[in-house]
Amino acid sequence: MLLPFMHPASLPQDSSFSPSEDLAADLRALLHDALQLGEEAFAFTADTPLLGVLPQLDSMGVLAVLTALEQRLGLTLHDDEIDASLFETFGALLEFVRQRLHH
């Protein structure tokens, strides 16, 4: 599903992006770009809480992240697999992305 909404700071349409060997680093960079985070995004660990802690991760921020996952990582996301638990921690989101890439 391609989401119709694009965040004002939408990511460039770079179809040449491909995940590196360090998926966690890729996801940190994606969150940094999609949510316009500062350098703190590059220090996220598996236990770093996201939802309810990052003010940028509101409903529009979630849409920006989902759109970035689809555009930059080539994931196909379905509404029935998206819920708040995916965004509880960086580790939860990372595990979801890892599973979807190897699905």
Q: Is the pLDDT of residue 3 over 50?
A: no
Neighbouring CB atoms inside 10 A of 1's CB total: 10
CA diameter of the chain: 33
Other Cβ atoms less than 10 A from the Cβ of 29: the count is 17
Confidence of residue 86 (pLDDT cuts 50, 70, 90): very high
| Contact by Cβ (8 Å): 96, 85 | no
- pLDDT on residue 32: 96
Instruction: Give the helix ranges, DSSP H, for the chain.
Output: 23-35, 59-73, 90-101
66-77 per-position pLDDT tens digit: 999 999 999 999
Domains, the chain, ranges and CATH?
46-103 (1.10.1200.10)
pLDDT in tens, 6-51: 443 443 444 344 556 899 999 999 999 999 999 999 999 999 999 9
Residue with tokens 């949510």: 35
Examine the pLDDT at 58 and tell me if it is beyond 90: yes
Q: Which amino acid is at 76?
A: T
Q: What CA–CA distance (Å, rounded) separates 72 from 9?
A: 14
